[in-house]
Amino acid sequence: MQHTSNRNRRMPYFFALCGFGLILLVTANAQRPSAPSQSSAKVSRGEGSFSDWANEKPGNRYLIKAADLPQPYATESSANRSTVVPRPADAWPQVPEGFKVDLLVPGLTNPRQIVTAPNGDLFLAESEPGRIRVVRGPTGDGKVESNEVFAANLTMPYGIAFYPLGPSPQFVYVGNTNSVVRFPYQNGDLKARGPAEPVVANIPGGSSYGGGHWTRNLVFSKDGKKLYVAVGSHANVADDQAETNRADVLEFNPDGSGQRIYAAGIRNASGIAMDQRTGKLWVAVNERDALGDDLVPDYVTHVNEGGFYGWPWYYMGPNQDPRFAGKHPELKEKVTIPDVLLQSHSAPLSLTFYNGKQFPGGYSGGLFVTSHGSWNRAHRTGYKIIHIPTPNGTATGEYEDFVTGFVRDDGNVWGRPVGVTVARDGSLVFTDDGSNSVWRVSYVGAKGAASSK
What CA–CA distance (Å, rounded) separates 71 from 12?
Answer: 68
Give, as one character, the DSSP assignment of residue 298: P
What are the tens digits of pLDDT across the range 151-180?
A: 999 999 999 999 999 999 999 999 999 999
What CA–CA distance (Å, rounded) separates 27 from 29?
Answer: 5
Q: Which conformational region is residue 397 in: left (phi greater than 0), alpha (psi within -120 to 50 degrees), or beta?
A: left
What CA–CA distance (Å, rounded) separates 402 from 391?
Answer: 18
Ranges of residues in the chain with a pLDDT under 70 are 1-40, 206-210, 447-453
DSSP string computed for 332-366: GGGBPPPSEE--TT--EEEEEE---SSS-GGGTT-
Q: Which helix (H) or strand (E) holds 175?
A: strand 171-175
pLDDT at residue 449 in the model: 55
Residue spans per domain, the chain: 33-451
pLDDT at residue 53 in the model: 81
Closest CA to 113 of 278, 269, 250: 269
pTM: 0.90
Q: Beta strand 281-285 with 271-274: parallel, antiparallel or unpaired?
A: antiparallel
Burial class (CB in 10 A: 0-12, 13-18, 19+), 140: exposed
Q: Beta strand 61-63 with 43-45: parallel, antiparallel or unpaired?
A: parallel
Give backbone dihedrals phi and psi of 84, rounded to 5 degrees, phi first. Answer: -85, 125
What are the tens digits of pLDDT across the range 361-419?
A: 999 999 999 999 999 999 999 999 999 999 999 999 999 999 999 999 989 999 999 99
User: Do you know the residue count of the chain?
Assistant: 453
Q: Where are the beta strands (DSSP E) in 253-396?
A: 260-264, 271-274, 281-285, 299-303, 314-315, 319-320, 340-341, 348-353, 367-371, 384-388
* 150 close to 189: Cβ distance less than 8 angstroms: yes
Closest CA to 132 of 147, 155, 153, 151: 151
What CA–CA distance (Å, rounded) separates 183 from 409?
Answer: 45
Closest CA to 372 of 103, 102, 81, 175: 81
Give, as one character, the DSSP assignment of residue 46: G
* 315 close to 338: Cβ distance less than 8 angstroms: no
* 372 close to 383: Cβ distance less than 8 angstroms: yes
Closest CA to 371 of 356, 387, 359: 387
pLDDT at residue 357 in the model: 97
- Which value, to the nearest 10 degrees, does the dihedral of the CA atoms of residues 307, 313, 319, 323 take? 170
Q: Which CATH architecture has domain 33-451?
A: 6 Propeller (2.120)
